[in-house]
Amino acid sequence: MSAVIAEHVTGTTPGSTPGIREGAFGNARALTCRECGHEVELGPHYACMECFGPLEIAYDFPVVTREEIEAGPRNIWRYKALLPVPTDIEQSPNMEPGFTRLLRARNLGRELGIETLWVKDDSTNPTNSFKDRVVACALSAATEFHSKVFACPSTGNLANAVAAAGARAGIKTVVFIPSNLEKPKQVNSAVFTESLVAVNGNYDDVNKLASEIAGEEDGWAFVNVNVRPYYAEGSKTLGYEIAEQLGWRLPDQIVIPVASGSQLTKVHKAFQELVKLGLVEDKPYKVFGAQAEGCSPVSTAYKAGTDAIRPVKPDTIAKSLAIGNPADGIYVLDICRETGGAVEDITDDEVRDGIVLLARTEGIFTETAGGTTVGVLKKLVESGQLDPTLETVVINTGHGLKTLDAVADSVGPAATIDPSYAAFVKTGLA
């Protein structure tokens, strides 16, 4: 169990919970401990009372058919039967994220020598990152718990998503970020909320502070702290969508960025659930994790062949992935090892190259997290860890306009000229 989770054990009450209504969490049955399997009733809990392990949602799924899902809305609520949300979830104001494009990436595939490559482009979500998915599920839980404040510690994108979703739902938001965060990510939160708090410290310091506040203040739902079990389930929808968009099939290989590691573990959980529900055929698939070298505690442990994830002090341009003490790191290691995948990391220069490569081959402008994922994909092929003959999906989790500075010095005008044809001809671009 990670130290981060241990610190979250205090303050398990995000709301006054005068009573949770019938069906508040749909087909979810209980909260179960990922370490010891101990089960507790669904409620505002996130750490096991027996062993302090992290809790996750367990379900009693009814029969769910492809047709029912396909008849649903073109957002994550088409999978509401598989999420801890009520059946009337679509009635509450929310951002309606999801059902983003799965693009066949022929040019990037050709460039990297991969026969069949897809990009799952989550930069087109309402606040331009996959975080809108997790926040939508967290908002539902916070609402059911009658929380009065919707909050988060964030590396940037989560703060954007929480601030926007809270504004739309009419719930007070307070979002905490490291003070050295990229300016566009700060503005993208501050525009939605009066309560953006910039903390002098790194993400891990901000996370610690959030845990402390959650322990002290009544009625605060910190989406990734004390409602984390509900929040995390939102990432499953990435896995469901990929399978549905491939024609109800699982890919052979998938590359996913890793910060806390939550997203990677939940995409795997989604694939497993689809198999169990008979919605896709069972088949082997490999899961790969992507980190930036300046914050690579999980890939370092992977390469060392150990389960011990040593917390690091992040130093990378991939700020959205800059979590030095990843809560789900150990589960990422398990999944990548069990499925025959790997965890790899790349330098900041390779992150920049990854951003430009995806942009120039597929017309997709990704942020540093996506640059990391594309750069790691390239490295995995070159090092022979990823099989270029197998169908591969790479997830783009966020938008490049939020991290312009990362590439501002690498790209720019090819020439600056006077407005004359002769001057243009001189550039050699004609």
Ligand X SMILES: Cc1ncc(COP(=O)(O)O)c(C=O)c1O
Which residues contact ligand X (rule: CB under 6 A)?
129, 131, 155, 157-158, 257-263, 320-321, 367, 369, 397-398
Residue 369 contact partner, candidates ligand X, Zn ion, none, CB within 5 to 8 A by sort of partner: ligand X
Could you tell me which of 369, 294, 374, 299 has the C-alpha nearest to residue 329?
A: 299
Residue 262 contact partner, candidates Zn ion, ligand X, none, CB within 5 to 8 A by sort of partner: ligand X
Q: Is 50 in the site for Zn ion (CB under 5 A)?
A: yes
Answer yes or no: are the C-beta atoms of 332 and 321 closer than 8 Å.
Answer: no
**Pairing state of beta strands 253-257 and 286-292?**
parallel
Q: Is 51 in the site for Zn ion (CB under 5 A)?
A: yes
Q: By C-beta, is 27 or 160 nearer to ligand X?
A: 160
42, 47, 48, 280: which one contacts Zn ion (CB under 5 A)? 48
Q: By C-beta, is 143 or 157 nearer to ligand X?
A: 157
Min separation Cβ 138 and Zn ion, Å: 22
From CA 390, how far away is CA 399, in angstroms rounded? 27
Rg of the chain on CA atoms, in Å: 21
Answer yes or no: are the C-beta atoms of 327 and 262 closer than 8 Å.
Answer: yes
Could you tell me which of 176, 242, 184, 270 has the C-alpha nearest to residue 396?
A: 242
**Exposed e or buried b per residue across 143-164, where buried means at least 16 C-beta atoms within 10 angstroms of its C-beta:** bbbbbbbbbbbbbbbbbbbbbb
Q: By C-beta, is 35 or 217 nearer to Zn ion?
A: 35
From CA 81, how far away is CA 119, in angstroms rounded? 26
From CA 44, how far away is CA 31, in angstroms rounded? 10
Min separation Cβ 328 and Zn ion, Å: 15
Q: Is 47 in the site for Zn ion (CB under 5 A)?
A: no
Region from 33-41, 263-271, 284-292, 350-358 binding Zn ion, contact rule CB under 5 A:
33-41
Q: By C-beta, is 82 or 323 nearer to ligand X?
A: 323
Residue 253 contact partner, candidates Zn ion, ligand X, none, CB within 5 to 8 A by sort of partner: none
Q: By C-beta, is 72 or 201 nearer to ligand X?
A: 201
From CA 37, how far away is CA 402, in angstroms rounded? 40
Min separation Cβ 36 and Zn ion, Å: 3
Q: Is 39 in the site for Zn ion (CB under 5 A)?
A: no
Min separation Cβ 25 and ligand X, Å: 21
Min separation Cβ 1 and Zn ion, Å: 8
29, 38, 146, 168: which one contacts Zn ion (CB under 5 A)? 38
Tell how far CA 73 is from the center of its chain.
Answer: 22
Q: By C-beta, is 149 or 232 nearer to Zn ion?
A: 232
From CA 401, how far away is CA 407, in angstroms rounded? 10
Answer yes or no: are the C-beta atoms of 149 and 219 closer than 8 Å.
Answer: yes
List interacting residues with Zn ion (CB under 5 A). 33, 35-36, 38, 48, 50-51, 53
